[in-house]
Amino acid sequence: MPLVNMKKMLIDAVDGGYAVGAFNILDYNSMRAVIDCAKELNAPVIVQTSVKTVKLWGQKAMASWARELCDSCAVPVALHLDHCTDVDYVAQCIDHGWSSVMIDASAQSFETNLEWTTRVVGMAKPHNISVEAELGAIVGVEDDIFVQERDAHLADPDLSEQFCQAVDIDCFAPAIGTAHGIYKGEPVIAYDLIESITKRTRIPLALHGGTGLSDEVFKKCIALGCAKINISTQLKHVFIDSFVEYVRDHSTEYNPLKPLASQYDALKQNIAEKIILFGSAGKAGQEKM
Ligand SMILES: [Zn+2]
């Protein structure tokens, strides 16, 4: 099937009490691992691309990989642009075929954030493309966005409600205590804040900074309304470690396809564990396209 946006898959996830995994890919091999894994598990899935990764390969190439991989696939796949801080770049990705985009104007004032998000929604909706926006500041490094702990702040429930009433977004990413990168200590998740934002916005929430959270934390966040869970850092580690370990263990072998195959298998295994944990395995059949 063609690429789909993430609106319906996230509403279905909220209704069904599960979450859809949004996996950050790095190249064709990792994109293939995500989509093949979703196919095998009959799960809806979000292929997530950071702006830096898109700039490396080019929009045309990445969109064509995704289209080609989805053509032969019966599960719903969204191609989503992660944390884009540039409205013009979002427009270019929409032109090239992304089915979903995130505008991250969380570093701007509330008014500017709302204004940029409204512009993106205006560009995206006529093309049936879903939009995610962020409020508050999620600590850590994501792409070129660096938020220090002292600058991080959680989303305010009043402002969250105001924001989501003012603009028609499909997924909302409030800062609720998770962090990008690797956790240094036990993360303090503001569960009460997730609950209150879910009740007041009625929009599926995105959980950023999924790497390193315990199974229990994931389950609790899903039960409170997190319908999209981002996994990025973990896959970066698996991507490098699996390749390096294969080469280290087969140091006389110079067949590049073998470490690539090993990398693909390792990524797929990690992605499968998350899809099963999030409860989205077997849920693709429930999608009515
Ligand atoms: Zn993020």
Residue 2 located in a structural domain: no
The range of the structural domain enclosing residue 166 comes to 7-286
What pLDDT is attached to residue 289?
45
For residues 127 and 141, the model is more confident at 127
- Using a CB cutoff of 5 Å, list residues around ligand 1, an ion: 142, 208
Give per-residue pLDDT as tens, 211-261: 889 999 999 999 999 999 999 999 999 999 999 999 999 999 999 999 999
CA of 102 to the centre of ligand 1 (A): 10
Asked if residues 174 and 209 have their Cβ atoms less than 8 Å apart, the reply is no
Residue 132 located in a structural domain: yes
Residue 37 located in a structural domain: yes
- 82: annotated active-site residue: yes
Which candidate, 112, 155, 117, 152, places its Cα nearest to that of 133? 117
CA of 2 to the centre of ligand 1 (A): 26
Give the total number of structural domains in the chain: 1
For residues 1 and 46, the model is more confident at 46
- Residue from 82, 104, 143, 170 carrying the catalytic annotation: 82
What pLDDT is attached to residue 148?
67
Give per-residue pLDDT as tens, 149-182: 655 688 999 999 999 999 999 999 999 988 888 8
Which candidate, 85, 107, 102, 120, places its Cα nearest to that of 24? 102
Q: Return the amino acid letter for 48.
A: Q
CATH, residue 113: 3.20.20.70
Q: In the predicted model, what is the mean pLDDT of residues 58-81? A: 96
What pLDDT is attached to residue 287?
47
* H or E segment and range at residue 81: strand 77-84
CA of 83 to the centre of ligand 1 (A): 6
Q: CB atoms < 10 A from the CB of 31, how many?
A: 23
pTM over 0.85: yes
Helix (H, G, I), strand (E, B) or coil at 172: strand
Tell me the two tokens of residue 176.
């609720």
